Amino acid sequence: NAGVTQTPKFQVLKTGQSMTLQCAQDMNHNSMYWYRQDPGMGLRLIYYSASEGTTDKGEVPNGYNVSRLNKREFSLRLESAAPSQTSVYFCASNGLAANTGELFFGEGSRLTVL
Amino acid sequence: QQQVKQSPQSLIVQKGGISIINCAYENTAFDYFPWYQQFPGKGPALLIAIRPDVSEKKEGRFTISFNKSAKQFSLHIMDSQPGDSATYFCAASGNSGYSTLTFGKGTMLLVSP
């Protein structure tokens, strides 16, 4: 059982380039999330999708877009990467509302923007 | 603004000692308080969680203590082991409609042999 799978694991971009981080879960969860983790800043929510067909902004959405492709997949897109977007990105999912269920995280995608 | 304040940022404990990490919150609507554990190169994983209807929850060597009036909760790791060395995040979420988790900034714990 793979759980939450993120690709790629590592990526180096130049300023202004675009890229998409992919996330897929095989637990039939309704809700999916994208977080970024920076030293001393904890985990900050970028976007989330409470259910298939819906997406909402989190705490730090600027510079990002998301697509809930189907129930399994939730992608995060950087249209024009900036050095401030250098971070480790985590996708997560859970089967119930966040206030009642465990979040399952992927292993992260480490992005460097030069 | 929803906020969860976590301290200390880092902690060094000797093997066999007690590790204590504290969190404080402001939003009285929060009613779910999980702790997540993260090892280097891995994603966070749920360690233990508590709701405000109890003041303490224990699972093995890990205990959450909850003080509703002070709006504080803490993680105690008894008999700390080198394998407990990780980053720990407290979090909180509310009870109104759909609520996402708000995380503290994390505590890096090192348990020395």
Rounded CA-CA distance B60/B81 in Å is: 13
B1 pLDDT more than 60: no
Contact B15, B81 (CB under 8 A): yes
Q: Give the range among A4-18, B10-24, B90-104 with minimum mean pLDDT.
A: B90-104
Task: Please report, rounded to a whole number, the percentage of residues in chain B having pLDDT higher than 90.
Answer: 80
Q: Report the chain B residue with the minimal C-alpha distance to residue A39.
A: B105
Q: Which residues of B touch A108 (CB under 8 A)?
A: 41-43
Averaged pLDDT of chain A: 93
Confirm or reject contact between A97 and chain B (CB < 8 A): yes
pLDDT at A97: 55
pLDDT value at position A1?
Answer: 64
d(CA A87, CA A89): 6
The Cα–Cα gap between A42 and A22 comes to 22
Chain-chain contact of B32 with A100 (C-beta, under 8 angstroms) = yes
pLDDT above 60 (res A64): yes
Contact A102 B46 (CB under 8 A): yes
Average confidence (pLDDT) over A47-67: 94
Question: Strand pairing partners for A58?
Answer: none
DSSP state of A98: T
pLDDT of A99: 52
Residue A38: pLDDT band (50, 70, 90) is very high
Task: Using a CB–CB cutoff of 8 Å, tell me whether B54 touches chain A.
Answer: no
Write the pLDDT tens digit of every residue in A72-105: 999 999 999 999 999 999 999 987 655 566 899 9
A35-to-A44, A87, B112 alpha-carbon distances in Å: 5, 10, 31
Instruction: Tell me if chain B has a CB within 8 Å of the CB of A89.
Output: no
pLDDT at site A101: 67
Q: Do B89 and A41 touch (CB under 8 A)?
A: no
Specify the range with the lowest mean pLDDT, choosing from A74-78, A94-98, B9-13, B54-58: A94-98
The 3-state secondary structure of chain B, one letter per residue: CCCEEEECCEEEEECCCCEEEEEEECCCCEEEEEEEEECCCCCCEEEEEECCCCCEEEECCEEEEEECCCCEEEEEECCCCHHHCEEEEEEEEECCCCCCCEECCCEEEEEEC
Per-residue confidence band for B29, with pLDDT thresholds at 50, 70 and 90:
confident
Contact B92, B32 (CB under 8 A): yes
Using a CB–CB cutoff of 8 Å, tell me whether A39 touches chain B.
Answer: no
Nearest to B43 among A58, A98, A107 (CB): A107
- The better pLDDT of the pair B53, A7 is held by A7
Q: Which residues of B touch A107 (CB under 8 A)?
A: 41-43
Residue B93 confidence (pLDDT): 87
If you average pLDDT over residues A8-18, what whole number do you get? 97
**Of the partner residues A4, A42, A102, the one whose CB lies closest to the CB of residue B103:** A42
Least confident of A72-76, B19-23, B98-102, B104-108: B98-102
- Beta strand segments in A1-114, E: 4-7, 10-13, 19-25, 31-38, 42-49, 56-57, 64-68, 74-78, 87-94, 104-105, 109-113
CA distance A48 to B28: 23
Q: Which chain B positions have a beta carbon within 8 Å of A105's beta carbon?
A: 43-45
Q: Do A107 and B106 touch (CB under 8 A)?
A: no
pLDDT, position A102: 83
Give the count of Cβ contacts less than 8 A between chain A and B. 57
CB atoms within 10 A of CB B66: 19
Report how far residue A93's alpha carbon sits from residue A28's, in angstroms, rounded to the nearest whole number. Answer: 9
Where residue B3 falls among pLDDT bands split at 50, 70, 90? confident
